[in-house]
Amino acid sequence: MQLLTLKPRLFNYYVCPIFSLICHALMQCETIQTLHLNQNNLIKCGSAIGGLIAKNTSLTDLDLSWNQFRNTESTKVAKSLLSNDTLTNLNLSWNHFGVDAAVFAIAKFISNSSYLHTLDISYNKIRERGSICVADSLKQNKEVSEGM
């Protein structure tokens, strides 16, 4: 399996334990390259998704847009990016990654990634300080061709 798209609004706020099992299985899947989890209301699933991002070594395209990640959950997802060196396309739009710890982790990921080509972090309530940090990291990373 190379592509998995989970139907938008398939999950709700209370299904994180079930979704965690799916993420655990996907951590072991060495062929999955594209994962679309957008619009699935994964508000409390930051740890599960973070584990998947950090441990899967074949994932290149990830869409987590419109999942309402906030505060500690968005930070868990963002920090997991620092352990990933395979993502080339990442969509985190329409969440709440504007929390300082999350946006700084995203900026560090951008700076360190030599594979990332496309990034969408629009509509995340990123404030001025976070925007400057992301802009500085984009200057350092010449691989990103599309962004925000």
CATH of the domain at 63: 3.80.10.10
Averaged pLDDT, 118-143: 93
Domain that holds residue 24: 3-147
pLDDT at 146: 55
Number of domains in the chain: 1
Strands in 118-120's sheet, in edge-to-edge order, are 3-5, 34-36, 61-63, 89-91, 118-120, 146-147
Bridge partners for 63 per DSSP? 36, 91
> Could you report the per-residue pLDDT of 83-121, keeping only the tens digit for each?
999 999 999 999 999 999 999 999 999 999 999 999 999
> Could you report the per-residue pLDDT of 15-24, keeping only the tens digit for each?
677 888 889 9
What does pTM read for this prediction? 0.90
